[in-house]
Amino acid sequence: MIEIFCTAIVVITILIVGVFVYMIIRTKKKKLKLDNMFYINSKYKIDLDKIMTKMKNKSVINIDDVDDEELLAILYTSKQFEKILKNNEDSKYLENKVFCSVFLEPSTRTRCSFDAAILKLGSKVLNITDMNSTSFYKGETVEDAFKILSTYVDGIIYRDPSKVRK
């Protein structure tokens, strides 16, 4: 249970950072107050601009899709978002964005945690929860469905129990 929760938190963070990277590159309306460089310790520093450029348009399916430096940048950025929310600062970094949440199994905590994070950052979320009313039911591949969905939304949250490592 704890592993699922931790995985959900990391995936939420990855999603938020992915959208954050996209937004920084695409718009200058609102700026998250981050230093371009931050230090992990006295010898190791991370260049956020370099990482954000590298992660532009990157699909993250599981934790193996990000390297150590990217993961540290994601965790650092999520910590900054956490501070913003705790201080009740403007948190509309995903304003005018729409996400689609696709869960191929019943889920309450994970789906709601994604939805809450997206809503708290000013975005909207569409939920696909009834697989019998989708093209998946008719045999459409995930790749084809997401290709079409991606023309309507800014990000897709996808959970498929058959893809989880045991």
Q: How many domains does the chain have?
A: 1
Q: How confident is the model at residue 25 (pLDDT cuts 50, 70, 90)?
A: very low
Band (pLDDT 50/70/90 cuts) for residue 152 is: very high
CATH number at residue 101: 3.40.50.1370
Here the tokens at position 94 are 């995903």
Other CB atoms within a 10 A radius of the CB of residue 92 amount to 13
Least confident of 14-23, 48-57, 92-101, 124-133: 14-23
The answer for 140, left when phi > 0, alpha when psi is -120 to 50, beta otherwise, is beta
User: How would you classify the pairing of strands 124-128 and 155-159?
Assistant: unpaired
- Under the banding of pLDDT at 50, 70 and 90, the label for residue 29 is very low
Mean pLDDT score of the chain, rounded to an integer? Answer: 74
| pLDDT score of 72 more than 70 | yes
pTM for the full model?
0.64
Domain with 54 in it: 2-163
Question: Could you tell me the pLDDT band of residue 124, with boundaries at 50, 70 and 90?
Answer: very high
Q: With a cut of 80, say whether residue 111 has pLDDT above it.
A: yes
| Count of H-run helices and E-run strands, the chain | 5, 5
Distance CA 156, CA 77 (A): 20
